[in-house]
Amino acid sequence: MSIKQFGKRFASLFIAATLGASLGAAPAAADNERTLRIGYQKFNSLNILKGTGALEKALADQHVKVSWHEFAAGPQLLEALATGAIDLGHAADTPSVFAQAAGKPVVYLAAEQPYPKGIGLLANQDAPIATVADLKGKRVAIGRGWNAQYLLVLALEEAGLTYADITPAYVNNAADAVAALQSKSVDAVGLWDPFLAAAQKNLSVKTLRDGQGLSNNRTFYLSTAAFADANRPLLKVFFQQLGQTAQWANANPQAVADLLAPQLGIPADVLKVATERRNYAAVALDAGIVAEQQKLADAFQRIQLIPKPLKVSDAVYPESVLP
């Protein structure tokens, strides 16, 4: 079944009924149209949703347009969300906690399923580094607030080391991290998919550790409480479309890769590797997921990368916006 065929199953009556409460009677005038501004990064359910055009079709009758805004990584996306440049978006576990720690007014709306193979620590194949324990005294390219930084913290502790035992070489994006590894100005790097999959497939590297058994590496959907309060029905439609797209994506990894390759500028064979090891599905934040995030926050506070304790549950939106 194609995703276009899948999208035809959606009922416009549901959309009209649920949106009516917050948007009121849809005005006919074009200048009264609203725009839902969505932030996204490379390779996620949002990329697939964007590629299908399903959300635009679902909201057209309600005079709601959709604009898509790409960001290099989660920290930049959450900064845009906090300053009102976008209305909602997605980010990994670590940048979400760092945003809360920085006092940014962002709230969790939903989470995706665990994706532990989507993060990893890599070294060059010819480097005298066989395990994470060999990173002691070495330079590691990593980003502040990256999901791969959390993996690095936990992997070092698992190996009997601490974050202070390595020298972090902070970078702002995955391309700079990969370039540092290739130039051998660093000894190892922390990456996430699809950049991890690309490095594993195309470069002479070895994987020292992925997230299995250490980090669930969830993606979270976030907004602000003010936007969510005013647009719960709109968000329900968004998550309905996202859920249907995710269901199709889980069943069609090759089609996902083919759909995203031209959009992202990443080869389909790389995207297929990344797609086959993840589960596209948004779920509500339950106590277990909040506990995962709290463990992450506590870990960064313990090594003083977050200055003071925080309570993750304070940033969870109290009402369900899932259909």
- Cα–Cα dist 136/129, whole Å: 10
Q: Do the domains at 3-114+218-315 and 116-210 have one common CATH topology?
A: yes
Digit-by-digit pLDDT tens for the chain (323 residues) are 544 443 434 333 333 333 433 443 333 445 578 999 999 998 888 989 998 999 999 999 999 999 999 998 899 999 999 999 999 999 999 999 999 999 999 999 999 999 999 999 999 999 999 999 999 999 999 999 899 999 999 999 999 999 999 999 999 999 999 999 999 999 999 999 999 999 999 999 999 999 999 999 999 999 999 999 999 999 999 999 999 999 999 999 999 999 889 988 899 999 999 999 999 999 999 999 999 999 999 999 998 999 999 999 999 999 999 99
Q: Residue 313 is inside which H or E element, if any?
A: none
First-residue to last-residue Cα distance in the chain: 23
Is 3-114+218-315 assigned to CATH 3.40.640.10? no
Which residue, among 271, 300, 247, has the nearest Cα to 98 in the 3D structure?
A: 300
Q: What are phi and psi of 193, to 5 degrees?
A: -65, 145
3-state helix, strand, coil in the chain (%, to 5): 50, 20, 35
| CATH of 116-210 among 3.40.50.360, 3.40.50.2300, 3.40.190.10, 1.10.10.60 | 3.40.190.10
Sign of CA dihedral 45, 50, 53, 56: positive
| pTM across the whole model | 0.83
The domain locations on the chain are 3-114+218-315, 116-210
In Å, how far are 18, 96, 112, 126, 189 from 205, measured between CA atoms? Answer: 50, 29, 28, 8, 10
